[in-house]
Amino acid sequence: MGSFRTSAQARANLPQGIEMNIHVLTQGYWPTYAPVEVNLPPQISQYQDIFRDFYLSKHSGRRLNWQNGLAHCVLKARFDQGTKELSVSLFQTIVLMLFNDSDKLSFKHILEATGIEDKELRRTLQSLACGKVRVLQKEPRGRDVADSDEFVFHSQLNEKLYRIKVNSIQLKESAEENAATSERVFQ
């Protein structure tokens, strides 16, 4: 990663204001996760493309698979009380970056713009609007996210800490999924 940052390719093409750390692991060391396709913001997508070109020019015959579901980010966000750093998942990042261009967004608009799978997006929005730290406000108020809900950036967020961890909502495993997992493990 250090050689990437100092390369002429990176210095000439990387977007300003973004710092990205990438960990390249072989398939044997990485748990098997199904790749999740999402619509990345242009700044992140551009960074990935530049890194992919750099990496493949150094290591021919290899292939990169991005594990978007495992990525996390630190965003700087401006609130009425000042700037804060938000430690969030990539899915939360994608949703929050939509609010750079809009004050209010519907669930359906966020679903189309992000490309995040419906169930995952509902969990992501719950963590941002219904969790302990509410970076977004949901209209109407409530714990569940409906198709007709709208979301607004919560500019009056009043947290004392400069760096805030926004936890993801954990997915409950159904009885069938639990049985299938147990079956795979004990075979």
Average pLDDT over all residues of the chain:
85
Annotate 51-76 with three-state secondary structure. Answer: HHHHHHHHCCCCCCCCCHHHCEEEEE
Q: Which pLDDT score, from 0 to 100, does residue 112 have?
A: 95
pLDDT-based confidence at residue 172 (cuts at 50, 70, 90): low
For residues 67 and 85, what is the distance between their CA atoms, to the nearest angstrom? Answer: 23
pLDDT-based confidence at residue 58 (cuts at 50, 70, 90): confident
Q: Which pLDDT score, from 0 to 100, does residue 116 have?
A: 94
Q: Torsion angle of alpha carbons 105, 107, 110, 111, nearest 10°?
A: -160
Reported pTM? 0.83
Range among 27-36, 51-60, 137-146 with highest mean pLDDT value: 137-146
pLDDT at 16 over 90: no
pLDDT at 91 over 90: yes
The beta-carbon contacts of 104-112 under 8 Å, at least 24 apart in sequence, are 104/150, 104/151, 104/152, 105/150, 105/151, 106/148, 106/149, 106/150, 106/151, 107/145, 107/146, 107/147, 107/148, 107/149, 107/150, 107/151, 108/147, 110/151
Looking at the DSSP bridge assignments, the partners of residue 150 are 106, 139
Average the pLDDT over 43-48 and give the result.
87
Q: Which pLDDT score, from 0 to 100, does residue 117 have?
A: 93
pLDDT tens track for 26-41: 777 767 777 788 999 9
